[in-house]
Structure 1
């Protein structure tokens, strides 16, 4: 890790040290003492299973009185995590699970305080707090490194989900209501208001998310997946307060709950608190929330839909999205799910995949369509092949190319080296166990566990499934081709979905909302209107009153460790004067390399092109490798190689900041020489001479930026607002804000990118130099010596400045120490 400031280094050290603590008597070892049949605070132990891949002992339990399922993942990690999830299966698009997720956080029996998450932020040391509404479940996770804080947060979460107030005023505020435009003026027009109502109106302006929602609704038209779990703005006003309370009573019940805890806090503490504070107050029920399987079609189907025009699209005349989607397997068939995941990487990921070549490099579109690849977020999984940025008159050709490419894959199969690269990526994912690992596991488990897949034997024991896959390939060389034929060529449950822009889309949506509003208003009596006005005033008082947050638990100074555990660091110099920070850690056989190269000497006219330089540097080819070979080598020998712009402010002086380029990669320790060789080739011989390749990358990058604006509008607004406050804010807007969106759109519209290639070559001469750099290396103590020699060899082999270059902006200073 590279420190960004002294305080940041201390925090990074603490996080890293705590995340990898491994004691003689570890949490995982202690958990092995539990025995099946043992009863602990109302829970019965069902299984105790070591999972060597993740240094975990998994303990599965059931709560006797309610049937609640419990999974404890004991691991020597002080960043302890809790989550509780409920299967929430809406049967309409009123958004009841989404509105309920908001409303339970508006006050509970023990904590009558609105928005406890927000108010706990300055009373807690939580490393994560949130809640999620998926298509068929709702999840409430948090994590913290402080045991007392864990108890506090657990108390708040349990009371929120099991004993919320669910007041009518909370429903009106969080869900929807009719209210005067000016609540204090009864003569002002009535309108729809509500947090979730407005949130989903925003979601439905994002073409990417609209397409994904329509795709799921159409390919799974029977049952819960045909509805919008987040809520359709036109349907949300159909939800009543009584329906919300009924949904909570039947779905937010321990009999429908799955609890997960992770980390090094003893299991008994969790079980006692969860039982005493919540579960002991319930009896078992049948929640009747099962999801039925989708009936397979006997013929393909085709649908068309519309969306708003994207003013930031790389090509305004090409804004259609089209895909072909196939129903695949149920999520309960874990080996088929793994196979389809691996197929997804082979078919659609990276420049060596057949659909990347057939759709993007053939310039049929600017980027793959939303949802392309394997989707396993529902009980019935599906697989899509598609592209966006298509000319409307080219849709038929795209469909033909997709079918043709499937046929070619069935005939030719995949190169063994590509299969090995995908399997290597899986191995990296298992080994790469960094901070926040508990949340990653909870997220990975949640969807399948929701449909009663065994979270331990079926999900955590990945190595067994990978070995079975390897054996299947070995025994049957056409194994993957047969899967492609089964799921895509001979599958009648297939769907073509086309979405094209409509200039009047927003106006039509506004008219539909107005029509819905008029229907509601016309049905009102004079008494209803009076009640709406009075309730509006009541809600206004309710929203503005100062509530006492003292009911919420808080940490005391005595609850916090007086000292911060520090990680041992070593500092050295290589290639003369390049600083290197070494940090030996039990990294599970992984090596992590980081570097920062200064931009202080880069001419101002090249600054706007730095983000593009970073995004294409590892994708254009280098040294003896063309871009396809480079991508293959990265997949075969590393866990990824990333390059990104860096802007780091000095908190003690906001006029000072560091500007640079951040290089990052990881690999299995056996591949360290290969990883550093790739960096050497990238630094010494990057390919900036392939204009056709750059065209593809620029179009894709511009499309990604355009797609990001509606999804993260608040981020772009914040960057825009901050650009005049500090020099760092100005540069951050140029690198990642709307300025960069406009720059990339302009570049994407250029027919000749020769001038851009020349600018990228010029940037290289300022950035890819050893005397502008500092590095860090993390590896196991056993591998540090070998890894450090490879890094030193890399630094000794890259170019240096032949002459001292003048810093172009004197007020920019280095604030990061080596």
Structure 2
């Protein structure tokens, strides 16, 4: 009697997945054989709540505060760090809670597994833990707690308010409409530890726990590691019968309704609209739900889809984005969301949507079956690509769907093989898709929610919060406040009792020797070596090839933008947008942009043009921002088609006034939403302090682009002369960056398999260069730090505090000069010094997150920028969080500072994991290989860095601390803070007392960003 095999399947025919169940305890184990260096665990429980107390979420946080066998806060993360992991994590969804861990190799995973499950099934759930982690009142009368802090940063955003309002309306009287994260008012007044304990008893049982494991690990070893937990479960005795969550029938939507809500904001420009319907049952209609997903994608994906065509890709757009979402519930939710909707058009969205869908529903507008075939084919290829780029999550998420809504064992195989379902959908005719559209999006009742930004609401809610805190202080009085302070201090003291060293050291630190990396070989035309079937010297440009086990080809072209003149530089971001969204001149004929977009959708899995090497948000550049990148992913058989596309996109696109205006308007409309995101604003403020005013980083930033694009749209609207001027400039920029000496090729594939295709792998690339002259082959690498202004851009201060009405918590970036070379011998010791301070359950975690001062924090070096950053994310008390970080760091910088050997060992182990995790999947290995040229590091750099980290001594740590870290908290460091306007002046004063002269800005428009 032990674990019995219940089901087995192959995820989309590629990755074997097996499900086992314990006959003794009902515990379920699912193992997916994912290749690569990491082993991932996802421990999922179906959970259901019917109020806004946030019990699922508060319990998720409290699980990490100790267990029966390991009754110490933070021991789980300390053990994880020793096991070649970097702490643990979890998420709470409406219908389940999932706890995660990832280790390098299986040795550490097997050691950590029983410790983790003891926490999940048998947590301590102490009152002291509840006080610090969930909610408390400080002696100043302010509310705090990690959960409270997290929800404060989220609850009143437009996105959060519209989502909750939609759920309330579409799922009346049902658990799907509860705020499982917890509403702040409930966290203050209703949520308590007794409720949490009762909730745990109801749902956290072995027969509701699914242990999902992906990676290279033997099932027999897992069962052996689970033996002590199984014995403990049996010793606890029989549990009452369990009712699976989400079995109660869901009330139907009684009537269609349109709701309007407001959310706090600084500007009343653009709002949000969601339109929602009930979809098929996730339990019994999974195939139909998959078909709805395809249909919604057809309707809204890419600029040629019906909804983008009607709402976005027009001269006077209704919104900057149209997207769709599906919540896979017992009765699913389908919704279409419109972002950055101009307030004057907010009431027109739903009637227009009904008109567009209605036309397709009646057959007045035909469904383009050729495009539908492309949508399906791309969907299938993306599913296969996900098994390379994100295999652990991909397998786990499909399994979790089965855990929650699978009815019979064959559902397990069905959910892991959505491609079978997608293949079957290829045979469906237009009538099938039209009737599906009518059944779910035209005929049924709908819920429309409009969310409108409101300055009045910002003032009202700020005053209400101020009044509430004042009333709270008055009600408590001096003695009451002092008592609250004592309670918090006592709770902190109890929580911070450290685990005995022997409890930690009894868990061995595993060796890194057996870890299986994804193999990759890097070839460069400058080095004279080439992979099978491809001779790099024959290519007309500087080229690199990466050979690895992949079913796809990744074709990347880099363009050096350095020669672009300052007055043309602002056009770069728009140019990147236009490259894949414009008509093409082919054999004398102009192919309209709709046909280009549709064909790209059919021929490629992904096409992306951007500034910088890695993808970031629209107005923030990836590292090495002076390089523009065009990336394309295709199946092997479309290698030459991909090259033809790259040549056409770079050289044959024709910019028209109409398309330029549409793309520019889309980008301008995106500004409204980006302006409300505290974290990206604070990052941009920091960059504005360093970078040259004509650098890509500055000219592509939010406010600069808003102004530039606004003027450009006016030029286009002013007649033919203005339009010609704009188009000539775009063509000039394109001509400069596509000159052969500015281009580089970076090609990743399984070259041995490519050689077997017996096609010309070099010839097609000649289309990228003019036939006359011999191009100069070079890769120009300009690290970001070379684009800084000498001495910086601040005249009379060391930083800024900007008030932003859309944020309730604060965001901070501080920085100082540091390492500029990825090969610097000091990098490994610096990384370890910082890991020691920042690791989960390390010194900063305990004092900053443990006291509920900030939800997130980090200290990280960026050698490409030559900077060391300290950041705080969603801080409820930014001054206290900063003071703690400064005090802890400065203490560690003292000449006689002690290094706790157990903490240092776990820091070393968790850092090694983080370096290995850079190459966790094939997709990551492609990115790392591509980056290695720009970082100017040799092949095998990450593996060598792992070895270097292993050899760092305490003397090395002391040396790099004094050399680099000391400056980060000194008065010379630059600091940017974004917070609520009411708090800006007080924060600046407090930082002034710490030696930082910060200027207060009441709006972004008056800040350094403008």
1:694 — aligned with what? 660
- Secondary structure at 2:559's aligned position in 1? strand
2:255 aligned with 1:299, yes or no? Answer: yes
- Secondary structure at 2:406's aligned position in 1? coil
**If the length of structure 2 is used for normalisation, what is the TM-score?**
0.67
Deviation, structure 1 residue 66: 3.3
- Secondary structure at 1:752's aligned position in 2? helix
Structure 1 pair 404/723, CA: closer, same or farther in 2 (3 Å)? Answer: closer
- Secondary structure at 1:165's aligned position in 2? coil
Structure 1 pair 815/565, CA: closer, same or farther in 2 (3 Å)? Answer: closer
2:698 aligned with 1:734, yes or no? Answer: yes
1:752 — aligned with what? 715
2:57 aligned with 1:98, yes or no? Answer: yes
- Secondary structure at 2:585's aligned position in 1? coil
Aligned residue among 671, 677, 680 for 2:638: 671
1:184-203 to structure 2, matched below 5 A, reads 190-203=141-154
Whole-angstrom distance in 2 between the partners of 1:788 and 1:646: 32
Asked if structure 2 preserves the Cα contact closer than 8 Å seen for 1:84 and 1:139, the reply is yes
Structure 1 pair 448/733, CA: closer, same or farther in 2 (3 Å)? Answer: farther
1:437 — aligned with what? 391
1:613 — aligned with what? 575
Give deviations 1:289-339, integer Å, cap 9, x for gaps.
Answer: 52234222343122121112354xxxx54x233343211212121111110
Deviation, structure 1 residue 383: 2.3
Asked if structure 2 preserves the Cα contact closer than 8 Å seen for 1:777 and 1:788, the reply is no
Structure 1 pair 110/621, CA: closer, same or farther in 2 (3 Å)? Answer: farther
- Secondary structure at 1:365's aligned position in 2? coil
Give deviations 1:460-482, integer Å, cap 9, x for gaps.
Answer: 12232123222333xxx310001
Whole-angstrom distance in 2 between the partners of 1:702 and 1:391: 11
Asked if structure 2 preserves the Cα contact closer than 8 Å seen for 1:321 and 1:500, the reply is yes
2:205 aligned with 1:253, yes or no? Answer: yes
2:291 — aligned with what? 339
Whole-angstrom distance in 2 between the partners of 1:202 and 1:219: 25
- Where in structure 2 are there 5+ consecutive unaligned residues? 526-535, 615-622, 717-722, 788-863, 865-933, 939-1010
Whole-angstrom distance in 1 between the partners of 2:744 and 2:496: 51
Whole-angstrom distance in 2 between the partners of 1:91 and 1:519: 30
1:357 — aligned with what? 309
Aligned residue among 259, 265, 277 for 1:326: 277
Structure 1 pair 787/124, CA: closer, same or farther in 2 (3 Å)? Answer: farther
Give deviations 1:216-273, integer Å, cap 9, x for gaps.
Answer: 2221122112211112112221201111122122222222212211222111111222
Structure 1 pair 536/731, CA: closer, same or farther in 2 (3 Å)? Answer: farther
1:6 — aligned with what? none
Asked if structure 1 preserves the Cα contact closer than 8 Å seen for 2:558 and 2:745, the reply is yes
Deviation, structure 1 residue 85: 0.9
2:558 — aligned with what? 596
1:580 — aligned with what? 543
Deviation, structure 1 residue 520: 6.4
Deviation, structure 1 residue 791: 5.4
Whole-angstrom distance in 2 between the partners of 1:537 and 1:622: 67
Structure 1 pair 722/388, CA: closer, same or farther in 2 (3 Å)? Answer: closer
Give deviations 1:662-694, integer Å, cap 9, x for gaps.
Answer: 222111222222221111101111222x23323
1:147-186 to structure 2, matched below 5 A, reads 147-181=106-140
Deviation, structure 1 residue 575: 5.8
2:29 aligned with 1:70, yes or no? Answer: yes
Asked if structure 2 preserves the Cα contact closer than 8 Å seen for 1:676 and 1:791, the reply is no
**If the length of structure 1 is used for normalisation, what is the TM-score?**
0.82
Q: Which moved more, 1:125-134 or 1:397-406?
A: 125-134
Deviation, structure 1 residue 641: 0.7
2:679 — aligned with what? 714
Structure 1 pair 729/170, CA: closer, same or farther in 2 (3 Å)? Answer: farther
Q: Which moved more, 1:149-158 or 1:622-631?
A: 149-158
Asked if structure 2 preserves the Cα contact closer than 8 Å seen for 1:595 and 1:663, the reply is yes
- Secondary structure at 1:687's aligned position in 2? coil
Q: Which moved more, 1:537-546 or 1:264-273?
A: 537-546
2:245 aligned with 1:290, yes or no? Answer: yes
Asked if structure 2 preserves the Cα contact closer than 8 Å seen for 1:596 and 1:661, the reply is yes
Structure 1 pair 774/526, CA: closer, same or farther in 2 (3 Å)? Answer: closer
- Secondary structure at 1:782's aligned position in 2? helix
Deviation, structure 1 residue 559: 4.7
1:373-772 to structure 2, matched below 5 A, reads 373-410=324-361, 411=363, 412-432=365-385, 433-452=387-406, 456-473=412-429, 477-491=430-444, 493-513=445-465, 531-539=483-491, 541=493, 551-552=503-504, 556=509, 558-561=511-514, 566-572=519-525, 573-574=536-537, 578-588=541-551, 590-624=552-586, 625-646=591-612, 659-688=626-655, 690-704=656-670, 706-708=672-674, 710-711=676-677, 713-718=678-683, 720-721=685-686, 724=689, 733-734=697-698, 739-744=701-706, 746-748=708-710, 750-753=713-716, 754=723, 757-772=727-742
- Secondary structure at 1:48's aligned position in 2? strand
Q: How many residues align?
A: 745
1:239 — aligned with what? 191
Asked if structure 1 preserves the Cα contact closer than 8 Å seen for 2:406 and 2:412, the reply is no
Structure 1 pair 81/245, CA: closer, same or farther in 2 (3 Å)? Answer: same
Whole-angstrom distance in 1 between the partners of 2:500 and 2:668: 48
Deviation, structure 1 residue 439: 1.9
Asked if structure 1 preserves the Cα contact closer than 8 Å seen for 2:258 and 2:448, the reply is yes
Asked if structure 2 preserves the Cα contact closer than 8 Å seen for 1:111 and 1:552, the reply is no
Asked if structure 2 preserves the Cα contact closer than 8 Å seen for 1:330 and 1:380, the reply is yes
Structure 1 pair 693/729, CA: closer, same or farther in 2 (3 Å)? Answer: closer
Asked if structure 1 preserves the Cα contact closer than 8 Å seen for 2:296 and 2:324, the reply is yes
2:321 — aligned with what? 368
1:783 — aligned with what? 754
Q: Which moved more, 1:750-759 or 1:410-419?
A: 750-759
Asked if structure 2 preserves the Cα contact closer than 8 Å seen for 1:359 and 1:365, the reply is yes
2:94 — aligned with what? 135
2:167 — aligned with what? 216
Structure 1 pair 368/662, CA: closer, same or farther in 2 (3 Å)? Answer: closer
Whole-angstrom distance in 1 between the partners of 2:673 and 2:111: 39
- Secondary structure at 2:252's aligned position in 1? coil
Give deviations 1:566-609, integer Å, cap 9, x for gaps.
Answer: 53344443566623333343323x22222322233333444444
Whole-angstrom distance in 1 between the partners of 2:251 and 2:624: 59
Whole-angstrom distance in 2 between the partners of 1:257 and 1:331: 20
- Secondary structure at 1:89's aligned position in 2? coil
1:107 — aligned with what? 66
1:18 — aligned with what? none
Deviation, structure 1 residue 345: 0.9
- Where in structure 1 are there 5+ consecutive unaligned residues? 1-38, 182-189, 649-655
Whole-angstrom distance in 2 between the partners of 1:729 and 1:129: 41
Whole-angstrom distance in 2 between the partners of 1:759 and 1:156: 62
Structure 1 pair 676/470, CA: closer, same or farther in 2 (3 Å)? Answer: same
- Secondary structure at 1:783's aligned position in 2? helix
Whole-angstrom distance in 1 between the partners of 2:373 and 2:518: 40
